[in-house]
Structure 1
């Protein structure tokens, strides 16, 4: 059986996830600024954007004083559903 992470580590993980989200978003913006790349790789650029959004949402949940309420506020439907299911079990 695995043990829960110490509560004090959650803000550090949230900060790291937020930084990764910013880095990922910056990479996507840089790639989108090249019209040739944007035209050829739109699906991949959308995936980069989704990764960035997911990282931000996960960071927000970890940093929240009420993580279950934060899960309910997640904008990405499939991520929200997965985390709501995890909270229910």
Structure 2
């Protein structure tokens, strides 16, 4: 495992946990029709953040595996932002 690999793996796990927490919170809020109707845009942000967290966790795991971390990012906007920082 590369230097920092254990830390990257743990950070990825924490990002996954945060994503699950956001998904659970969003589901609870969406179960109330009044909240869902009045705050749909804000609730969609939960989903977007959850997706970004998952993508970043995947980047960390690909780095640990010695793979190019950016090639498999599925979210175009995130890939573009990370590509600018990468190089």
Using the TM superposition, give the Cα deviation of residue 6 of structure 1 relative to its aligned residue in structure 2, in angstroms: 2.6
The aligned residue for residue 86 of structure 1 is 85
The aligned residue for residue 54 of structure 2 is 56
Highest relative contact order (Cα 8 Å, sep 6+), 1 or 2? 2
Q: Contact conserved, 1:72 with 1:84, CA < 8 A, in 2?
A: no
Q: 1:24 aligns with which of 15, 19, 22?
A: 22
Q: Which runs of 5+ in 2 are unaligned?
A: none
Regions of 4+ moved over 6 Å:
none
Q: Which runs of 5+ in 1 are unaligned?
A: none
- How many residues were matched structurally? 83
The aligned residue for residue 37 of structure 1 is 35
Q: CA RMSD in A?
A: 1.6
Compared with structure 1, are the counterparts of its residues 76 and 43 closer, same or farther at alpha carbon in structure 2 (3 Å cutoff)? same
The aligned residue for residue 75 of structure 1 is 74
Taking structure 1 as the reference length, the TM-score comes to 0.83
Q: Contact conserved, 1:18 with 1:59, CA < 8 A, in 2?
A: yes
Taking structure 2 as the reference length, the TM-score comes to 0.85
